[in-house]
Amino acid sequence: MDGNGRWARRKGLPRTEGHTAGEEALATIVRESAASNVGWLTAFGFSTENWVRPRTEVRHILSLHRKLFGRTEEMRQRNARTRWIGRPFHEKGAKTPIYVQRAIQRAIDDTKSGTGLTVTIAFDYGSRAELLRAVRHAMTQGPVSTDSIARNLYDPTMPPVDLLIRTSGETRISNFLLWQIKGARVHFTERTWPDFTAQEYRTSLTQYSKSHS
């Protein structure tokens, strides 16, 4: 979900306003995903590299994520469940604050009965960290293989990615689900994340469906 800062700068607003708009954009895409019968939606909320941003910006992003994980009633109404991937709270190197940890756990517990859309938020997440951890755990369990690595990912139940959406004119792959995106179709758009509309999202889903029909 790239381009929150650029969106704010173009409008002469603080970067924090861009992140607020980005959180609302994600809520829109969640609703559209539920309406379009998407099974899994995974959003890169905050990476392991983002902690070096200015403290005021980080604090604002943390508060937005607490709010995001707090949207449990809307998730239940849409028969959706919330999941999370990132550095496990109890492991060395994890940086998720306690109050965000609690919000994450409440969201998971309060929406666990959802059988429709699964919304996974990647917070304090980096794919290289995920893969390194998976390999280390696999090495303690016997010969390392693709299957043993897959079993030790943050969420082994997550299916392979079908469609990867990259906003804000970025035509590169970030440190996001590097194992899971093998074979995924990539949709690049010039729109910043706050400007990414439900209509363009539907178009990307339609194009994906046509390419696999």
Catalytic (active-site) positions: 2, 50
Q: Taking the CB of residue 82, how many other CB atoms lie within 10 A of it?
A: 26
Helices 98-110 and 55-69 meet at what angle, rounded to 10? 20
Task: From residue 206, give the alpha-carbon distance in Å to each of 20, 36, 209, 211.
Answer: 28, 10, 5, 9
Going by C-beta distance under 8 Å and a sequence separation of 6 or more, which residues neighbour residue 123?
45, 46, 65, 84, 85, 86, 96, 100, 104
